[in-house]
Structure 1
Amino acid sequence: MSSAVRGAAVQLVKTIEKLPAERMKHMVSLKESQLERFKPVAGLEAGAHGSKQKPTLQEIKDIISRTSGPLGLQKEALKKVQEAFPQEQYTAEAIQEQTKSLNNILSNKYRDYYAVGDKLLKPQGNPAYYQRLMDEIEGKKKETFWTAMRTVVLGK
């Protein structure tokens, strides 16, 4: 891999590490999956492999390429599996575009460019609607069954 690609990947990894932790836990984290994807390109370690961590895509590819017929697969099936794996071709320009896009997201460029006014954020029929949603997501204020029923019945 060229030094330009490696340098661009190092810059992208540094930018990805600036991403905040996700508020809601998912099965797969965008931040972690992208770090796992670009750290090997940057020449950095891919992360500490614990005993219970799943194998990475690269490790699976290595296992398949080292063996002539893993798990009793026929050669034709093995060839189909290897062709199904994506072959990523990294260029310095493509990685720099990703870094630029990620920096735009981190700096809230589009939130500021497409500012939403109070007319949309606080509609006349239910002015506290979006604030209640955000409070629930952030865990600030839990809505009980009775307050939820009141909201459904009264609309506020």
Structure 2
Amino acid sequence: MVGEREAIRDYVSRITGGKPVCWLDERISKGDFEGRDWTLEIFDVPHQEQRALHARLWSLNRRVWQALHQSLTLVFHTPEETTRLYSWARQERPSGLLDSTKPRTSAPLPASLTGYCFRCHQERTLRSEGTGHRCVSCGNEQQTDGLWVASLQ
């Protein structure tokens, strides 16, 4: 199941031009703090690019707050520090990150479908199912209709 956190991580990775991005975990920080669950680590960002990138991602932070009442914390790591401390981050790629060349569904979909799929990034492909939604295109199950994430595209 691809959820909002994966969609946010994938979006940030696309905005940064494919730089390694991951949610804070025990490999990066052993301590605990308020907001730890909503802290994104962005690797290989030179000092001179960090301020502009932070400003570019500010609208995402506002949208996450409006949709989920969570505040994103962004932590940038320079290429030098990434090499020295986090070289593993360059080998990992988010599992939900899709090839932008993947063709989108071309067949017309029923008008009763709604939402935005976090996995295949297609709109109007979700069918309500139990307490969540299932994408008719790729089969992804997700808890929300994903429409606020679709507005990021």
TM-score with structure 1 setting the length: 0.25
Q: Compare CA radii of gyration and give the structure with the larger one.
A: 1
More helix by share: 1
More strand by share: 2
TM-score with structure 2 setting the length: 0.25
